[in-house]
Amino acid sequence: MFGALSRHFVGQRLSGEGHGTLAVNVLGSFVLGALTAGLTSDPTLLALVGTGFCGAFTTFSSFAFETVRLFERGKRRKAVANATINLVGALVAVGFGVLTASTISL
């Protein structure tokens, strides 16, 4: 529930064609990368934050819908850019999350 509320808050602050969705997907990917790289080894915390918060915070279906909607409206370049930035951004964010977690000693 907290993840979904956070996603709604970000979406309200970043209006525009997919900006909120991009932000939550990249930020959620960073958090998940950091968690799974060893920021915590507690399986309960991993499930709670990783599956619970990140699962409710990020939204692949909204990303897909927004990309298709851009194509349907004839904004093909924006659609391709949206798809590329979301996918590459999420992958890079996971990498930075892993890197960040590996430099933090808890």
Report which of residues 92 and 18 the model is more confident about: 92
* Dihedral sign for Cα atoms in the order 62, 63, 68, 71: positive
At 105 the pLDDT is 61
Dump pLDDT digits (tens) for 6-37: 998 998 898 777 899 999 999 999 999 999 88
Q: Is the pLDDT of residue 106 over 70?
A: no
The residues, ordered by sequence, that sit 6+ positions from 66 with a Cβ below 8 Å of its Cβ are 17, 18, 21, 82
What pLDDT band is residue 41 in, cutting at 50, 70 and 90?
confident
State how far the Cα of 78 lies from the Cα of 40, in Å rounded to an integer: 38
Instruction: Give the closest residue to 1 by CA, choosing from 40, 57, 41, 43.
Output: 57
**Is 55 among the annotated ligand-binding positions?**
yes
Within 8 A by CB and 6+ apart from 56, the residues are: 1, 2, 3, 4, 7
Residue 44 in contact with residue 52, Cβ under 8 Å?
Answer: no
Q: Is 58 annotated as a binding residue?
A: yes
Confidence class for position 38, pLDDT limits 50, 70, 90? confident
